[in-house]
Structures are given as C-alpha cells and as structure tokens.
Amino acid sequence: MKTYLRIISLARPFRRHFPYYVLFSLLAILFGLLNLTLLKPLLDVIFGQMEAEKLAEYVSRPEFALNTQYFLHLFNHYMLEFINEYSRFGALAYVCCIIVISVFLANLFRYIADVIMANVRADVVKRLRITIFDKVSRLHLGYFSNQRKGDIMSRITNDVQQVEVSVAFSLKVAFREPATIIIYFLVLFSISTELTLFSLIIIPILGGMISEIARRLRKKAVKSQESLSRIVGILDETLSGMRIIKAFTAREYILDKFEQEATRYRRINVSMARKNDLASPLSQFLGVSLICGILLYGGYMVINKSSALEASTFIMYLIIFSQILPSAKEISKAISNIQRGLVAGDRVFKIVDTVPEIKDEPDAKEIPGFKDQITFKDVSFAYEKEVVLNNVNLIIKKGKTIALVGPSGGGKSTIADLIPRFYDPTHGEVQIDGHSLKEYKIESIRNLMGIVTQESILFNDTIFNNISFGSPHANQEEVTRAAKIANAHDFIMQTEDGYQTYIGERGSKLSGGERQRLTIARAVLKNPPILILDEATSALDSESEKLVQKAIANLMKNRTAIVIAHRLSTIQHADEILVVQNGNIIEKGTHDSLIANQGLYKKLMQTA
C-alpha cells in the first residue's frame, strides 16, 4: 500500500483535475442509474401493473422533498398526464426518449472522465520516468560499479512501463467503481433492506478469494521482474560484446544462457497468468451465483407476499444489482493486475531512495576559480574493504604537468578520480587553494576540469553535438576552432555531412584515433584550467597515437595537467613524475632524476 500511495502522490501537481473527474464520474453513475430506475414506472404505469388505488395517488403533484420517493412520485405524476393526453404508446415513446438521452449523457460523462484520468495517468508516469532518470544521473560512480547496468536499464524501462500498465491504470477504478457500488447499494437498501443484507453476506467470501489470489501473484511478480532484468542484462552484454562473442565463437554459450533465462521468465509468467486469469471468471461465477440466490430468496418473498416487495420493484432490484457486478469485476481485475505494478514500483523506488555517497554539503558554495594548487593531505581510500590509497600526500601546482605511472591497480586512476570528486577519500582530504573540495558545489568543481579517458565516450549524435557536449551555447566557429586544435577538423570535413555527420553508437563509424580526437576537441572547447588525461593514447596504434599526442600537447598548453600514462615515452617531459605502487607514491621527480635513481621507474622504462 505504501508503494501505491507513493505512486499516486506523483499526481499531486495535477490534483486540480480530480474534482472534474469526480464530478463527471458521479454524473455518469447517476445517469446510468436513471436508466434502470425508469424500468419500474415503465412496468407499473404504462403496462398497467399498478393497482387503481395506488395509481390515484399520482394524480396530484407531490410536495417537494429531497428523497427518491419525491422524484418517483413526480415522474409518475407526469407519466399519468402524458398517458391521458397522448395514450400509453405516446408515453412509452416519451420514456424511451428519456432513456436514450440518459444513456447518451451517462456515456458522454464517462468518456470525459476517462480522458481526464488518461491525462493524469500519463503525467504520473512521465514524472516517475523523469524522477528515476534524474536520480540515476546523480548517483555516485561507485553505485554503477556495484550494480548491473542491465538491471538499472530494466528498472527505468520495463518496471516503469509495468507501473503504467497496472498501478497507474488502477487510477481509473480507484474512485468510479467503488462510488458506483456504494451509490447502487444505497439505492438497493432503499428498495429492500432485507434483500441487500442477504447479498452482503456472500460478498466478503468473494473478497477473500480475490485477496488470496492477489497475495500469491505478488510473490510471482517479484521473480518475474527480476528475471526480466536479467534478460535485459544479457542483451546489453551481448550487444556490447558482439565482437568478442564472435571472435571466441561463444554464440552457443550466450544463446544457451539467454534461453535458460527466457525459459525461467516464461514459466513464471505462465504461473502468474493462471492465477491472474482466475480472478475474473471466479468473481463472475460468484456474482451470478449471488444473483441466483437473490432471485430465489426475493422471488419467494414476492410469490408468497411475505413483504411489501412488488414484482416490478423486484425486477428493477435484480437489474440494478446485476450492474454492480461489472464494477466489482473491474476492481478484482485491478487488484490482481496491481500486484505486478507494485513490485515494479518497489524496484523503481529502491533506486529513487538510494542516497548518493557523493553530494553537496548543505552550506556548499560556488568555487571562485583555480589560483594556486591542488593538495592531497594524508589521503587514504578503499573500495569497501580493498585499500587502494594509503596516506598519500601530494601537491600539484597550477600550470604544472604531473604524470602518474606505475603497475596496474596501484591507485593511479583513483588519485585522478578524487580530484573531480567522483569519489571522496575515506581518510584525509583533497584541497583546492587550501580549501577542502567538500566546501564547494560538485558541479562548480567539475566545471574547472576537462577529462579525457582511455575509452572515448561518445554519443549516437552528430560530430558537432559530441564536441559541444557540456557546452550547449557553443557556436560553429568555436567548435571548428576546438576541432582544429585537436587535429580533428581535416577528417571531420572528409565525412559525409561534415560536422552534422552522425557517428553511430559510441562513435562506431569512426576509428579509434578519430574518436579520441573528438573527445580532446570536447575538452578544448570547455577550456578548463585543470586537465585529467587517463591513459588517453594507450588503446591507439602508433600512427593514431602521434596525431592524438600532438592534439594532447595543444590541449595541455597553459593548463594544469594530471596525466596517467601507460606508454612512458609520452610523459618524459612532465614537470614531475609520480611512481605509484600498492597505493603509495614510492618515487617522484623528473624523468632524468628518476632514471638516475635506479628505482622502479627505470625498470618500467626498460620493459615499456
């Protein structure tokens, strides 16, 4: 219930629509009820089933009273006048016209109410999608290291879709169907209290059976959504790693893995369908059985005249009661369907409720700029229990190029990731110009930095939009200048549409060197004072590396640069080289001094 209320709370900005929905739903119910209540005067007056004494009561116009008896009396009064003036057939035509108009209005108001609720439902789902996407984009990088990407994608797509199909759909029956049942039962009580109380004895049995089905459906729904997220995960891994799958002839292995999960998903959903599809026929069977019971009990009362219930009134009672069944069926169907949506909602809200480990402090302020130095003071860091950095002290002066080298897993990338606050130290602090990074807003810190990684992160968009990514107000001239500095302009102009060429998913239409030069052009356009290069040329061939290296040299001019290098030949001119091993800086100095030191750096140079 808590999850359902959270989903419904997303409709609060649209609550101005609810009074109209309630109004039109009530009008639809009342006009629908009017169609049925006209049956009694139709049977009694027009077809002459009413005794002469009672018929005489309707000759005079009744005194006003706010109850059903007044309106019935008034209707019968005018009906008699109509019969006297236009004959019984004319009165019959009159009643038929009223019924047609009433049916038209009932369906018109129902349609308007459905349109209003469709808009609210679409807005709720839209807000839910935006909320989860916004939250995912704010989560710290460590979250994505611990979660399967396919599972996250499944929650944003399939789970939200399931919420829309089931939980949000129930908004339509949340008011109208219960209101229909309540209003109809009030009318039924006014007709025969005894018969209505008899019918209420059996209804709890129906409710108990439906709730038990719903409870079992919820358990299956959890397994179903988890299985679906695993299917999405396998698809994501397969499409991303298709080259490796084909290279290692592992298609049969992946197919078998996918088939097993698809079979599990099928088995769960067949089990769910059996239970879900049972709710509707069960409620219909019990409803018809209930009507038969009322028919026997009420028929006995009419035949033996053991109550004041007349035959025409009893027929009207049965017809009105039968109209409650579709509403009850809709509610039971909604309760069954809602279970899967609630499970999907739980999975969505688990992401929404995740607290980012890296976030702005309440009193965080905008950083004024970078003036002097970046400082690491007794910085230690661990991924859960794995210690990566151990009491690191480091000063990076403005305008200097600092290179980080050393064996894989030593902590080089972690040092670089702490500067833009992708992570926070578990001990100690990182400072800019003598102030802790935590004093400043994260976005303002990252605005000072440009990052080029080993993997060229590009988007399925135009070359222009990839270069101007993060700089939405850049014009063509600025983008072109950035591309020229990054040695990318020439190859861009050779593409089909120049800067408006679409590069495919992750830049698949470009070579590795071309992709990397676009990411460098992006950093050039941002024009950051601090530059972080994380093995930006390690995945390139020698010819592409020369072009990229030249682009990097252009990018690094007059900037503070932190360079993580796999190929040590690219960092020999750095102002300072730090050798990182097992989370410690074990050597530091220029290229020449470190070679003379006969330490690990020299060994790395010899094996490079």
pLDDT at 205: 62
Element (H, E) at 181: helix 171-191
pLDDT value at residue 415: 92
Report which of residues 377 and 118 the model is more confident about: 377
Q: Which tokens sit at 7?
A: 């989903």
Q: How far apart are CA 232 and CA 230, in angstroms?
A: 5
Query: How far, in Å, CA of 516 to CA of 512, rounded?
Result: 6
Instruction: Return the pLDDT at 327.
Output: 75
Predicted confidence at residue 510, as pLDDT, reads 86
**Is 256 within the bounds of a domain?**
no
Is 497 part of a structural domain of the chain?
Answer: yes
pLDDT of residue 288: 74
Could you give the 3-state DSSP secondary structure of residue 451? strand
Residue 359 lies in a domain: no
Q: Could you list the beta-strand ranges (E) of 384-511.
A: 386-397, 401-405, 427-432, 435-436, 449-453
Q: What's the pLDDT at 172? A: 65
- What's the whole-number mean pLDDT along residues 445-455? 84
pLDDT (0 to 100) of residue 168: 61
Q: At 30, is the secondary structure helix, strand, or coil?
A: helix
Residue 394's pLDDT is 92
Mean pLDDT of 495-518: 85
pLDDT digits (tens, 9 = 90+) for 107-137: 999 899 888 888 887 787 888 888 888 888 8
445, part of any domain:
yes
Question: In this model, does residue 376 exceed pLDDT 90?
Answer: yes
Q: Are 512 and 540 in contact (CB under 8 A)?
A: yes
Greater pLDDT, 369 or 276:
369
Distance CA 333, CA 341 (A): 13
Residues 121 and 195 in one domain: yes
Q: What is the pLDDT of residues 222-253, one digit of tens each?
A: 677 677 777 877 877 777 667 667 666 777 87
Q: What are the φ/ψ torsions at residue 605 (nearest 5 degrees)?
A: -65, -35
Given this model, what pLDDT does residue 536 score? Answer: 65
313 and 396 together in one domain? no
| DSSP assignments along 77-114, one per residue | HHHHHHHHHHHHHHHHHHHHHHHHHHHHHHHHHHHHHH
Q: Are residues 435 and 292 in the same domain?
A: no
Are 117 and 153 members of one domain? Answer: yes
With 60 as the cut, is the pLDDT of residue 177 above it? yes
Q: Is 252 part of a structural domain of the chain?
A: no
Pick the closest to residue 525 from 470, 586, 565 (CA basis). 470
The alpha carbons of the chain give a radius of gyration, in whole angstroms, of: 37
For residue 131, which amino acid is it? T
Do 152 and 352 contact (CB within 8 A), yes or no? Answer: no
Q: Where among 352, 386, 408 does a domain terminate?
A: 352
Q: What CATH number does residue 194 fall under?
A: 1.20.1560.10
Task: Please check whether residue 293 lies inside any domain of the structure.
Answer: yes
pLDDT tens, position by position, 384-416:
778 899 999 999 999 898 999 888 888 888 999
Asked whether residue 44 falls in the same domain as residue 118, the answer is yes
> The domain containing residue 124 runs over which residues?
2-221+278-352
Q: Is 167 a residue whose pLDDT tops 60?
A: yes
Instruction: State the pLDDT confidence band at 439, using cuts at 50, 70 and 90.
Output: very high
Between residues 50 and 519, which one has the greater pLDDT? Answer: 519
Q: Using pLDDT thresholds of 50, 70 and 90, give the confidence band for residue 521.
A: confident
Mean pLDDT of the 529-539 span? 76
Tell me the C-alpha to C-alpha distance, in Å, between residue 498 and each of 229, 466, 518. Answer: 39, 13, 13
**Higher-scoring residue by pLDDT: 597, 289:** 597
β-strands 373-383, 386-397: how paired? antiparallel
CA 456 to each of CA 461, 509, 522, 565, 566: distance values in angstroms, whole numbers, following the listed order: 14, 13, 11, 16, 16
**pLDDT given at position 397:** 92
What's the mean pLDDT in 430-446? 91
State which amino acid sits at residue 176. Answer: R
- In tens, the pLDDT along 27-53 reads 988 888 777 776 666 666 555 555 556
Which of 352, 384, 401 is the C-terminal boundary of a domain?
352
Residue 591: pLDDT band by 50, 70, 90 thresholds? confident
Mention every residue, 6+ apart, whose C-beta is less than 8 A from residue 541: 512, 513
Check which CATH number belongs to the domain holding 553 and give it: 3.40.50.300
39 and 130 part of one domain: yes
Q: How confident is the model at residue 549 (pLDDT cuts 50, 70, 90)?
A: confident
How much of the chain, in percent, has pLDDT values that exceed 90? 12
pLDDT at 12 over 70: no
In a domain, 397, yes or no: yes
pLDDT number for residue 210: 59
Tell me if residue 492 falls in helix, strand or coil.
helix
| Residue whose structure tokens are 């219909």 | 284
- Give dist(CA 513, CA 507) in Å, integer: 11
d(CA 18, CA 65): 31
Q: Are residues 121 and 190 in the same domain?
A: yes
Question: What tokens does 164 get?
Answer: 């829309």
What is the number of structural domains in the chain?
2
Assess whether 428 and 298 both reside in one domain.
no
Of 289, 323, 352, the one marking the end of a domain is 352
269 vs 588, residue with greater confidence: 588
Average pLDDT over residues 517-533: 86
Q: Is residue 397 domain-shared with residue 347, that is, in the same domain?
A: no
What average pLDDT does range 303-309 have in this prediction?
Answer: 73
Instruction: Let me know whether 167 and 302 are in one domain.
Output: yes
Q: What is the mean pLDDT of residues 91-118?
A: 84
- Contact yes or no for 198/214 (Cβ under 8 A): no
Q: Which of 349, 353, 342 is nearest to 220 (CA)?
A: 342
Q: Does residue 23 fall inside a structural domain?
A: yes
Q: Within its chain, how far is the Cα of 569 from the centroid?
A: 48
- Stated as kind and residue range, the H or E segment containing 589 is strand 584-589
C-alpha to C-alpha distance for 275 and 204, rounded to whole angstroms: 19
Does the pLDDT of residue 149 top 90, yes or no? Answer: no
539 with 507: CB under 8 angstroms?
no
CA distances from residue 263 to 255, 268, 305, 370, 460 in whole angstroms, order as listed: 12, 9, 63, 57, 33
Separation between Cα atoms, residue 66 and residue 605, nearest integer Å: 99
Distance in angstroms (rounded) separating the CA atoms of residues 18 and 29:
16
pLDDT of residue 213: 61
Judgement on whether residues 476 and 519 belong to the same structural domain of the protein: yes
Say yes or no to pLDDT of 276 above 80: no
pLDDT, position 440: 92
Collapsing DSSP to helix, strand or coil, 64 comes out as coil
Same-domain check for residues 125 and 70: yes
Q: How does the average pLDDT of the chain come out, rounded?
A: 79
Model confidence at 472: pLDDT above 90:
no
Torsion angle (degrees, nearest 10) of CA 579, 585, 591, 595: -80
